[in-house]
């Protein structure tokens, strides 16, 4: 059982994770529109990962005997000035999500909800990875600047990303 504050916060986080997926699908559409299929592929994989995050929290709420309440998902932006601008938005967004996860951990500690705190540690680690991944692409894009050959090399590399569903929790 979750305390009301914790339940409300988890339901808000499900929405935030689904918004993240929606944002990355919008970015995929943007990259498709400018014929950068590798960048589009990276965003599609990122969107799938964000939906997995939402579902992980969704399942946890049910495991705790509570009800998930879904709310409307905000409309994301649909175009960016450049691939670099899009990835800067990815990093900014991931930093925001990190702050939301940190707030959830703080709330779990405040509520003395040890199960939620333990559950959320996976997300803390995941957010470090998310921010690093976005920043790596930003740094590459800064290196190539306006060089189209460099941009296409990055596009090819990003096209190799594959979303892999993590193995099922053996304790579930």
30-88 pLDDT per residue, tens: 999 999 999 999 999 999 999 999 999 999 999 999 999 999 999 999 999 999 999 99
CATH 1.20.1260.10 fits 4-158, yes or no: yes
d(CA 155, CA 58) in angstroms, rounded, equals 33
pLDDT of residue 169: 62
Span 92-145, pLDDT tens digits: 999 999 999 999 999 999 999 999 999 999 999 999 999 999 999 999 999 999
d(CA 3, CA 25) in angstroms, rounded, equals 33
pLDDT of residue 171: 54
Q: How confident is the model at residue 167 (pLDDT cuts 50, 70, 90)?
A: confident
d(CA 92, CA 5) in angstroms, rounded, equals 26
pLDDT of residue 166: 77
Sign of CA pseudo-dihedral 101, 102, 107, 108: positive
d(CA 64, CA 67) in angstroms, rounded, equals 9
**Confidence (pTM):** 0.93
Q: How many other β-carbons are positioned within 10 Å of the β-carbon of residue 118?
A: 10
* Residue 172 pLDDT exceeds 80: no
d(CA 56, CA 19) in angstroms, rounded, equals 15
* Residue 170 pLDDT exceeds 90: no
Answer whether 41's CB lies under 8 Å from 91's CB: no
For the chain, the domains span 4-158
């Amino acid at each position: 059982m979750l305390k009301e504050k914790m339940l409300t916060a988890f339901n808000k986080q499900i929405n935030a994770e689904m918004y993240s997926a929606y944002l990355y699908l919008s970015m995929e559409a943007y990259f498709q529109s400018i014929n950068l299929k590798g960048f589009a592929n990276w965003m599609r994989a990122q969107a799938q990962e964000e939906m997995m995050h939402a579902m992980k929290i969704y399942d946890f709420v049910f495991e705790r005997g509570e009800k998930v309440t879904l709310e409307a998902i905000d409309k994301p932006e649909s175009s960016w000035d450049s691939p670099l601008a899009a990835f800067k938005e990815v990093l900014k967004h991931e930093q925001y999500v990190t702050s939301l996860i940190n707030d959830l951990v703080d709330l779990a500690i405040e509520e003395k909800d040890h199960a939620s705190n333990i559950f959320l540690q996976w997300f803390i680690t995941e957010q470090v990875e998310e921010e690093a991944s976005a920043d790596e692409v930003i740094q590459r894009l800064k290196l190539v600047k306006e060089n189209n050959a460099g941009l296409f090399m990055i596009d090819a590399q990003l096209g190799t990303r594959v979303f892999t569903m993590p193995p099922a929790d053996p304790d579930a």
